[in-house]
Amino acid sequence: MEKKKVLSGVQSTGRLTLGNYFGAINNWVEMQEEYDCYYMIANLHSLTVRNDPETLKNNTKKIIALYLAAGLDPQKNTLFIQSQVKEHAELSWILNCYTYMGELSRMTQFKDKSEKHTDNINAGLFTYPVLMAADILLYQADYVPVGVDQMQHLEITRDIAERFNKLYGKTFVIPEVYLGKVSSKIMGLQDPTAKMSKSATNLNDVIFLEDEPDLILKKFKKAVTDSENKVQYNPENKPGVSNLMQIYSSATGSTLKEIEKEFEGSGYGDFKTKVAEAVISKLEPIQNKYNDLLNNQGYLEEIYTRGAEKARELASKTLKDVKERIGIL
C-alpha cells in the first residue's frame, strides 16, 4: 500500500526555539518511518518581515542542517527549500483567487502580526495562509504536523481545498492537522500564558536551539512558577509549572503523571534543574551534529538540491492537473 503523505515546514526568520523543536521537528522525526514525508524551509514566508539578505540565506541553510542534526534522514524524507520549487508561488497565486478577504482577515496570526509590525503590514502578511495552503496541497499531504498556533491556517487550507474540489472535481487531498501528544504549545518561561516565540523581547522567555548549556540552565532557573512549590499539572492555575512539565515530558518521554510522582515532595529549585538537564541532554548531541554539518556546506547543498528535484516531481504533477481543470494554458 502507498504510504500516506506528510508535509510541514519552518520559517527561516530568526533563531529556532524549543517550541519549534518540541512542537514540530521532534514529531517529524517520529513520522519518518511510517509516512512519505516532505519537510521544507519556508523562506518565501520569511519575506513577510524585513530580513537582511545574507542572514536570510544563512538561516535557510542552517535549518537544513538542523533538520539533519535532529535526525531527519535525507534518504527517507524529502528535505527542500520552498523557493527552489517554483510551483509553490504559482499555485499560491491561483489559490488566492479562491480565497476570500473575509476569511483571511479572521486569521489571528495576521491580526497579531499586523499589530506588532504597524510599519509594514504588507499584502504578503495577509495572503500568507494561501501560500501555506499551496505548500500543503501541492504534495497531496494527508497529515500536517504543526503546533497549535498553526491550526487555524490548516483549517483555511482545508476550506480552500474543499471549495476547489467542489468546483472542479476531486483535485486535492483534504489534509488533517497532526498535533504532538504533549508539547503542541510550549509557553514562554517568563510569561507562561503566551506561546514561546522567537520574537520575544525578553530573551529569558525563550530557549533557542543554539543556546549553550549554561545559558539553558540559567533560563530555566529563572522560569516563572507559583508559590505552591508543588509539581502538579494544572495549566489553568499553574501555567508555569505545567509548561515545564510538558517540556520535561517531551525531553524524557515520561508522562505527566509519572513526572508528578517523580517530583513528589521536591521543590521547584530541584525540578527546574532537572528540566534544564533533560533539555540539555536532548539538545547537546543535536547541537554538536549541527555545528559539524554547518562546516560542510557542500553536503547541505547536495541535500537540498536533490530534495527540490524530488519535490518538484510531485508538485508539478499537481499544478498541471490544477491548470488543466481551471483552463490555464
Stretch of residues binding ligand TYM (CB under 6 A), selected from 91-99, 141-149, 247-255, 284-292: 141-149
Is 88 a binder of ligand TYM (CB under 6 A)? no
Q: Is 113 a catalytic residue?
A: yes
Cα separation, 265 vs 64, in Å, equals: 43
Question: Which one of residues 5, 6, 19, 322 is an interface residue with ligand TYM (CB under 6 A)?
Answer: 19
Q: Alpha-carbon Rg of the chain, whole angstroms? A: 20
Among 6, 64, 137, 146, contact with ligand TYM (rule: CB under 6 A)? 146
Cell numbers describing residue 313: 516531481
Q: Does 10 bind ligand TYM (CB under 6 A)?
A: yes
Q: Does 64 bind ligand TYM (CB under 6 A)?
A: no
Q: Which stretch binds ligand TYM (CB under 6 A): 97-105, 184-192, 237-245, 275-283?
A: 184-192
* Nearest Cα to Cα of residue 149 among 269, 264, 19, 256: 19
Task: Select the span of 18-26, 166-174, 262-270, 316-324 touching ligand TYM (CB under 6 A).
Answer: 18-26
111 is catalytic: no
Catalytic site residue 198?
Answer: yes
Q: How many residues bind ligand TYM (CB under 6 A)?
A: 25
DSSP string, 63-105: HHHHHHHTT--TTTEEEEEGGGSTHHHHHHHHHHTTS-HHHHH
Three-state secondary structure call for residue 17: strand
The answer to whether residue 41 forms part of the interface with ligand TYM (CB under 6 A) is: no
Closest CA to 22 of 262, 276, 249: 249
5, 6, 9, 319: residue in contact with ligand TYM (rule CB under 6 A): 9
Give CA–CA dist 23/33, Å, rounded.
19
Q: Rounded to whole angstroms, how far apart are CA atoms 133 and 97?
A: 13
Give the residue numbers annotated as catalytic, written as ranges: 113, 195, 198
Contacting positions for ligand TYM (CB under 6 A): 7-11, 19-20, 23-24, 42, 45, 132, 135-136, 144, 146-147, 149-150, 183-186, 195-196
